[in-house]
Amino acid sequence: MPTQVSLTQLRPRKSPPGERNGHAHVPASARPASLPRILVDSHGRAIRDLRLSLTDRCNFRCVYCMDPDVRFADPRSLMTVDEMTRVARACVALGVRHVRLTGGEPTVHPKLTQIIEAVAALGVDDLSMTTNGSLCTPELMREWKRAGLKRLTFSLDAVTPELFDAMTRDRERSGAERVVQAIRDAIAEGLGPVKVNAVVMRGRNEQEVPKLAALARREGFEMRFIEYMPLDSGRHWDRGMLVAADEIVRLASKEATLTPLARTDPHSTSETYLFADDPRGDHSPARIGIIAPVTRPFCGQCSRLRITADAKIRPCLFSLEEFDLMSHLRPGPAGDHAIENALLAAVWAKQKGHGITSADFVQPARPMSAIGG
């Protein structure tokens, strides 16, 4: 029987020079058989958080994600509910404790409630979902909560109606107010703490930062501003459109003085601030979060793994290599042990970092909508 070792005994692998996107092409097969059967990479990072994409489809065409003419995958090529459940169960067996359902837009999936029930039954500590909010109603939120959903995270890049339409290219003209109302409804239904994400782009919506901060302060949620990343389908990313974290904080501070909050979770992607004049202090739900993968990268503490809707393992959001799981699901599905082995091997090959700022950075072939947020 192999000798079991603890995570504290695992020495992070030293990365050789010349890595592309922080990836040295570590062979998945190089994972030592003596390691415990938990998801851990060759740099010593344990994986506890799963982003499970339900679909690549979305009713928006946000400018930082999808071009208007993007074509979606054939639904037959995507995982079924049973297949998603098997993959999630394997991840939980290997130590995953937090699952976030993503897309595309997960609320367009016709069997969303069934998926929530199946994943919640696995006994994870936290089950959340990211949505653009346009299709959310109080009735659906109550249904999702009964099925086991704990939290909702929304996307809202602008509150000015014309700018919201321009950012989302929303063909149905759902409107920012509809999303704001969905946020209010989620808070009322107890699907919190509610978080709201906005991707900040220079020349597009940086003027919305103080307005979004004011909305968070008024409604009582965490407004998280995300640096613009190279994940669009048209590959138009331009560093000149990046609004760095320091500038975002200055813009948000136009609403009120911000006070940094001590980080309690070392694996959190967000640096959190409170409104200094909020009498509720540390207990206030009204917060500002800054997610700065470009100027303040947090790769060293990463605890996340992504599974795409077409059953590809992506150890990193910016991975240039994907690992197929569908071959273990169809035809003639393999046992759970085989799925677990594939996950263990893929995670072992997780790159050290995304390398966005390196001269030889290569943008992933697939956009955010196809990867899962």
Confidence check: pLDDT of 122 > 70: yes
Mean pLDDT (the chain) is 89
Q: Give pLDDT, residue 262.
A: 84
232 vs 158, residue with greater confidence: 158
Confidence check: pLDDT of 3 > 70: no
Of 334, 296, 293, nearest to 316 by C-alpha is: 293
Q: What is the mean pLDDT of residues 135-151?
A: 98
| Out of 71-75, 263-267, 284-288, least confident range | 263-267
307 vs 355, residue with greater confidence: 307
Q: Give pLDDT, residue 32.
A: 87
Is 0.85 surpassed by the pTM of this model?
yes
Confidence check: pLDDT of 128 > 90: yes
235 vs 58, residue with greater confidence: 58
Cα–Cα dist 290/262, whole Å: 13
pLDDT in tens, 81-119: 999 999 999 999 999 999 999 999 999 999 999 999 999
Question: Residue 213 is encoded by which pair of tokens?
Answer: 């901060």
Give, as one character, the DSSP assignment of residue 206: G
Cis amide linkage into residue 240, ω under 30° from 0:
no
Cα–Cα dist 46/238, whole Å: 33
Confidence check: pLDDT of 174 > 90: no
Q: Give pLDDT, residue 7.
A: 37
Q: Give pLDDT, residue 29.
A: 66
Give, as one character, the DSSP assignment of residue 120: H
Q: Give pLDDT, residue 25.
A: 54
pLDDT in tens, 328-369: 999 877 789 999 999 999 999 998 877 676 777 777 778 778
pLDDT in tens, 219-255: 999 999 999 988 766 777 788 899 999 999 999 999 9
Neighbours of 4 (CB within 10 A): 10
Q: Give pLDDT, residue 217.
A: 97
The residue with tokens 């968070």 is: 216
Are 86 and 333 spatial neighbours (Cβ–Cβ below 8 Å)?
yes
